[in-house]
Amino acid sequence: MTEKTDVVIIGAGPVGLFAVFELGLLNIKCHLVDNLDKVGGQCAELYPEKPIYDIPSRPVVTGQELTDDLIKQINPFKPKFHLNQQVEKIAKTEYGWIVETNIGTKVEAKCIVVAAGAGSFVPRKLPIENIENFENKNVFYAIRDKSIFKNKKILIAGGGDSALDWTNELSKDSNVTLIHRRKEFRAAPDSVSKMQELETKGKIKFLKGQIKKISKIQDSRIMLEYENDDEKSNIEVDYLLPFFGLKMELGPIAEWGLNLHENLIKVDTEKFETSTTSIFAIGDINWYPGKLKLILSGFHESALMAQEVFKYCFPDKKNIFRYTTSSKELQKKLGV
Amino acid sequence: MPKLIIKDRSGKKSEIEYDSNFTLMETLRDNGYDIEASCGGCCACSTCHVYIDKKWKNKLQNMDDDEESMLDQAFDVKNNSRLSCQIDLSEELDGLEIEIAPE
């Protein structure tokens, strides 16, 4: 089923969220798509607890507080979120554009607004030789179907929440070894103590070290060489699950024929439209002479972009500029 | 101006001058070194990973828990690994030698 809206915003970081507000004031409805399982982009994923000091009128605000307040601010406009998915394809239609995600969500819209920051968050791959030959066979960076690991020998690498949570979870039905470069873990203390309890009971094994080499052995098993204080050892397993956090990648956006400047999307500074009409780019993902990657620049870009998007959504209507302080109609939309 | 000695990923060594108001990551980035620093320097990723020359290792401010935790997401971590965004360049570090870690 294809849903219909006015605008699809790609990226639900601070700038994508504020775009909902600016578009909403002009009666433009939005859907947002984000690869993360939550809104807020880098603010929520990378630095939820870190202070930001350069948001106008907020002497200090954390990444999470900023996200929460933006959600509160755009709530009257009832945006629809499609999380945990990445926009893969876009195609021109009579209505405007059809946007399709990697899990098959389809949304038709008049305009597309790319607010993708530094790109999509994707798992960081282990930088060892030939690893690509084993990916999705013996090596998985995300787990979709845990039943394949039943009664198998698994090596989990990393010291964060994903590594520890999966170690604890998979230990029920699999032979699990956890490998990490040190004995301390940055995962939640609860998961760490659970893992240590499992280790004491002999339900899992822990190895200190870092993986350096991967090779194939018979029966579709793999051999991993790891190093601890210059001492090399080997372990043979069915599966390797590395969890080294996320990194950002431009991803499928690079394939859409938009003019780029060093992996950033070129826009004009009047409308923030890309080289393709009715596709806009705002926030850290865009480039123009003098561009500064600041959240406040993205907010400004949202407001100007919305003026132009209005023309695509309501070609026969005149857009009269109004202030939220004085316009009764805008205040009604905001529910105040 | 005080100087740093930088070994890049190809193994080439060069000398750069630095201003002690900046971090090591900012100085590397400003001098065109290929260092991603995707979080912008708030110790929230591990993409500004460097190795500190052994003789300088103990002259730097100690690593805090935040930095040690973030290094868990880096690869090829050694006992002289640091995140360059967490190193404030003081005048005393004149002559500091570092190597940019592999990507």
Q: Do A186 and B39 touch (CB under 8 A)?
A: no
Which residue has tokens 């500190």? B52
Query: Which amino acid makes up residue B55?
Result: K
Domain count, chain B: 1
Q: Which residue of A has its CA nearest to B72?
A: A159
Q: Do A184 and B68 touch (CB under 8 A)?
A: yes
Boundaries of domain holding A162: 125-244
Q: How many cross-chain Cβ pairs, A to B, lie less than 8 Å apart?
A: 47
Chain A residues touching residue B75 (CB < 8 angstroms)? 126-127, 210, 244
Which residue has tokens 């607004």? A113
The half-sphere exposure of A210 on its side-chain side, counting CA atoms within 13 A, is 18
Same domain, yes or no: A103 and A152: no
Q: Do B44 and A180 touch (CB under 8 A)?
A: no
pLDDT at A219 over 80: no
Same domain, yes or no: A116 and A257: yes
Domain count, chain A: 2
More confident residue, A144 or A51: A51
Name the percent of chain A lying above pLDDT 90.
Answer: 92
Chain B residues touching residue A230 (CB < 8 angstroms)? none
For the ranges A15-19, A37-41, B35-39, which has the lowest average pLDDT? B35-39
Report the CATH number that the domain containing residue A282 is assigned in CATH: 3.50.50.60
pLDDT at B39 over 90: no
Q: Does the reported pTM lie above 0.90?
A: no
Domain boundary among the residues A244, A260, A288 is at A244
Same domain, yes or no: A179 and A76: no
pLDDT at residue A218, rounded to an integer? 79
pLDDT at residue A43, rounded to an integer? 93
Same domain, yes or no: A35 and A108: yes
Query: Taking the CA atoms of chain A, what radius of gyration do you get in angstroms?
Result: 24
User: Of B42, B69, B71, which has the smallest distance from its Cβ to A50's Cβ?
Assistant: B42
Q: Do B102 and A181 touch (CB under 8 A)?
A: no
Closest CA to A114 of A327, A279, A303, A314: A279
Same domain, yes or no: A117 and A144: no
More confident residue, B4 or A217: B4
pLDDT at residue A188, rounded to an integer? 94
More confident residue, A218 or A100: A100
pLDDT at residue A220, rounded to an integer? 87
How far off is chain A from B73, nearest CA to CA, in Å? Answer: 5
Contact between residue A106 and residue A2 where contact means Cβ atoms under 8 Å apart: yes
User: pLDDT per residue over B19-37, tens digit each?
Assistant: 999 999 999 999 999 998 9
Domain boundary among the residues A215, A244, A273 is at A244
- Strands A204-208, A210-216: parallel, antiparallel or unpaired by DSSP? unpaired
Rounded distance between C-alpha atoms, residue A306 and residue A85, angstroms: 25
Place A173 in a pLDDT band, splitting at 50, 70 and 90. Answer: very high
pLDDT at A328 over 90: yes
Chain A residues touching residue B73 (CB < 8 angstroms)? 124, 158, 160, 244-245
Which residue has tokens 């009764």? A328
Boundaries of domain holding B33: 3-100
User: pLDDT per residue over A235-254, tens digit each?
Assistant: 999 999 999 988 888 999 99
Closest CA to A44 of A125, A121, A144: A121
Q: Do B73 and A244 touch (CB under 8 A)?
A: yes
